[in-house]
Amino acid sequence: CKSPRRSPCQYEFCTEYLLCCSDPEPLTLQELLDVADADSRARYDSMVLGYTESQGMPELREAIAEQYTDVAAEDLLVIAPEEGVYLAMTALGERLLAEGKTHVVCTSPAYQSLYQILESTFGLRVSFWEPRVDPADGVSLRFDVEDLEALVEPGQTGIVVINFPHNPSGCMLTPEEQARVAAVANGAGAAVFSDEMYRGVEHGGRGTLPSFADIDVERSSLCLGGLSKTYGLPGLRMGWIATRDRKLMTRMRELRDFTTICSPGPSEVLALAAVRAAPELQGRVKARVAQNVAIADEFFAERENIFAWAKGGPAAATFAMPRFKRDGTVSF
């Protein structure tokens, strides 16, 4: 299993301009402390650098649970986001093998671990749900749920892996499309793993869709959230898995005993401050993205002969997928 980050890691911290970043401009420690509530700041100032609770600080889980409708603190496992993917995919892969199912559907392009753990560790077959060019404007991308329906194999598809807002296209589903995805999973008897790392950074006044943790998926759903993207805090390495499936939660907690065991205390306290200040921090990211979309609109308008770009940018997230109109790369 080859990591997709090994090659970029050679250049990430020594290159003047990076056009591949998926995270917004990060906050400084002082900027985060400036928006911390009194309780979080007191915890930070009096922090003891010992081990923390394996499932995550109770107060942090309670604050995260408030972002959902039907998720309680005990339905959350606080982890580093990539660790969460590993734990969830391992627990799901074990379940699929026990059930005799062999197939997974995953949105594509995708963060590599969302499918390759299941593929390389458990030998499962993966089909990719890819976006189409929207015929309405001939430029924007969209995911057609009918394509997902065509990929599902009744009796064999055990997991539908989705990522909305989508990395790297910025596509979103409509509420109606989201309900249809849940119906497809229910019809196949498949679990849903929903990567929601960019949930909360929607553009142009678009609303935030419900989390799949709050949607009735009969088999089970697991949702990944975190602070790296929508809060501008990738250096804290803090995220969470939300699921009401008690067996999967128990298995992920068991597996975590062999990874990090628990989260760093300083990161948990700072994460508590961030989650409690979510509207302010997410608003900061949205404002920066809106500013940069305007710059991108101007850039691409001046180069219409080279790029296909939908004015106003994608529906959500911190990146986009402009398309070359020419074969190969060009100087621009």
**In a structure prediction context, what are the per-residue pLDDT tens digits for the chain, which is 332 residues long?**
455 555 566 777 788 877 777 888 899 999 999 999 999 999 999 999 999 999 999 999 999 999 999 999 999 999 999 999 999 999 999 999 999 999 999 999 999 999 999 999 999 999 999 999 988 888 889 999 999 999 999 999 999 999 999 999 999 999 999 999 999 999 999 999 999 999 999 988 889 999 999 987 777 899 999 999 999 999 999 999 999 999 999 999 999 999 999 999 999 999 999 999 999 999 999 999 999 999 999 999 999 999 999 999 999 999 888 888 876 655 54
Kind plus residue range of the DSSP H or E element containing 160: strand 157-163
pLDDT of amino acid 204: 86
Q: If you ran DSSP here, which 8-state letter would residue 134 be given?
A: -
CA gap 276, 109 in Å, rounded: 32
Positive or negative torsion for Cα 332, 17, 280, 168: positive
pLDDT of amino acid 332: 46
* CB contact at 8 A, 238 and 78: yes
pLDDT of amino acid 5: 53
The CB density around residue 251, as the number of other CB atoms within 10 Å, is: 18
Q: Which of 203, 206, 171, 178 is nearest to 192 (CA)?
A: 178
Q: Which of 79, 26, 43 is nearest to 270 (CA)?
A: 43
